Structure 1
Amino acid sequence: MATYHIETYGCTSNRGESRQIERALRDGGHRPADGPGDADVAILNTCTVVEKTERNMLRRAEELAEETADLVVTGCMALAQGEQFREAGIDAEVLHWDEVPTHVRNGECPTPTADAEPVLDGVVGILPIARGCMSNCSYCITKFATGRVDSPPIEHNLEKARALVHAGAKEIRVTGQDTGVYGWDDGERKLPELLDRICEIEGDFRVRLGMANPGGIHGIREELADVFARNEKLYDFIHAPVQSGSDEVLESMRRQHRVDEFREIVSTFDDRLDRWTLSTDFIVGFPTETSDDHERSMDLLREVRPEKINVTRFSKRPGTDAADMKGLGGTVKKERSKAMSELKMDVVGEAYGSMVGTVRDVLVVREGTGDSVKCRDSAYRQVIVQNADEHGLEPGQFATVEVTGHNTVYAFGEPVSA
């Protein structure tokens, strides 16, 4: 597992977000380092109250980038002025706070708790549908803790989903190490049926499908895309981590898919849905990755143009087969990560820029910075509405907004009459 160092600046809200980041990392088996120089990843939770604070944040980010192999910048300045870190030449991933644990996992699957019980966080209900996976990735240590997939019956998960809705959930996040293989331990592919039946539950809420590896959903891609097309409650969003654009690297990673299968999944959803969001992950600097392999990943990113992208530098996990491979130098990994992260920002910025001027129906999911709220449209793209009190908006409400601008990784919206 990774070691981490986290620094927090600013208000109580930032400190609370850092606590949630740290809780998620500890739950996943990661541990704090003695300092940034000893950490696999440093996390800088930023403030942006005044210009002097901004200068301090940039200076501290520069220092941390020199001290640690991997820097993540989050918090208020990351959200409001994330481009400043890029313009300053700082080698860092700029992320929303709740994306940080995914980045630190280094391509490993999320790890539900042993009891896999649902959790209600505000108006967001977390619904773990299974534990374990069917993969044997050479870099992943999570499998040692969770083993093969163990899928409770559909009705069991439906009872948990109904309880979340009854408790006030307006967004249900279907989670698991690999949701696409739900039911495989019983010899069945049950995910499409489960999603259909969750959407049949009475109530006004939305459903987001969590990470599903391409190898798990390729064989059900048409059936799954049809489920999305007929259910308005489902966010038109999938998270399918490709990890590399090179079949040779995927083979070394022991991933259960190849690049063309990932393309076929994307093509199927393109055919079924008018507007949807593809989220994917890339691991940069895997020990067997050549410069040509890296360029194939860059080409794939340019080709499929995901609206949400997580770029992670490879780091060794003890006890995994990849830990015994001769690694690439830190400079090579840093250069490749920087190149892909820059391309990522261009691709994501283009996607959010294309939203400007459109009208979207959104769900208010959480309070934001100051008097703002964070919303999600039907494709799970984030829309920030400012002056929320003036508009009478709070988490759990639905609204219609016109997209008036964007800041690379999210859009700004103004409420309009329905």
Structure 2
Amino acid sequence: MRSSEQNRRTVRIISWVTAICLLGDSMLYIVLPVYWASFGLQGLWQVGILLSINRMVRLPLNPLVGWAYSWLPKRTGILIAVVIACLTTLAFAIASGFWMLLIARAAWGAAWSMLRIGGYLTVLEVSTEDRGHLLGSYNGIIALGSLVGMLAGGVFADLLGVRMVALVLSIITALGFPLAWLFTTSHETKPSSSSKEPTKQALRRGLLHPYALLTLCSGLIIAFLFQGLLNASLSSLIDIQLSHRAEGLIIAGFAMGAASIAGVVQALRWGWTPLLSPLIGAWSDGPRGRLPLYFVTLVLAIAGMLFLSLPLPFAAWMIFLIMVLAANTALNTLSDALAADAAAQGTHTVAYMTTYTTILDVGAALGPLAAFTLIETYSTQGITLLSATMLLLLSAAWFLLRRHIQVKPFHTASM
């Protein structure tokens, strides 16, 4: 039997491996829109493609990665992902031109699929009653990688040059290889050959179980609203709110624009995630379960979205925006924990978590497509009221299903 401390150590290691691999990707979201000419690009439209192609390739690749993990030891998958992440970051230090960088970004999409699905499966393997806490810790450490990558891009690009920043981050990413090796030697990750693979009919029944299906729908909605819709439109929402102030926002004698404020808010969110996510996950592991906390967080998010649609003073509006983003952090961890619970109670663990990961990517990809259409047509209220409505419907669905779950629990036999 593995101790809880060993389990936490295993999750911390795979989390830090993933965080290190994220450094280069996060840096690009800061430097590419500004220094695109330094990479031999011809225009901002190529920047948009480069920053989105990694997500697009994950949609068809996730099922393949899930299938690979059904027979491939995670040792091999994680190590391959680290090598790809290192090479794709190095490409932005030594390569130029749209097509070379497009190949690198597509390869990074494959690496992220292997890291994300491998991480979910690792938490499932080592967790029992502490699944929420471990998933919260996993998400929190990953957020540190994104935060450091963005700060490195924003602070050192002007000082060292974008090529040098990419080179340094690729070297740091290479250090993830021995860390990944430590993970795989401390935790045997080879799939069990004795476990019987679920039939297609059993898998279909499991995925269509009301609890499993609603968990997938929850992930889709949360990813669509927060990772896609809100992330893509955050600067625009702040800009619209600032336009109501004739003098703009002055802090310590400096005028701050929407982009600067959005950057500060995003940094705050990445900064509190390592603290808030494990705490939320641990609370959800308690005797009352995850759903009561999930309901409370949904209510907070709904209330915050409704207040954001009102013509409030800018300071009050920002308070509700921060409340919504904090609720988003909690909802990400709780949604992951609910999905992990559903996967752990069936015989289709790899297939279910692969489906869940793909659902998140679909939601995050659809969000930006809807964001600016809503802003142009309905202004700020288009996003906030749609978000509040969808979250309200999600809350109602879970409330109705909870009574069903209490009478007929979701377990392996129902698969």
Indicate the TM-score class for this superposition, using the shorter chain for normalisation: under 0.3
The structure showing larger relative contact order (alpha-carbon pairs under 8 Å, at least 6 residues apart) is 2
> How high is the TM-score relative to the length of structure 2?
0.24
1 or 2, which has the higher strand percentage?
A: 1
1 or 2, which has the higher helix percentage?
A: 2
Structure with bigger gyration radius: 2
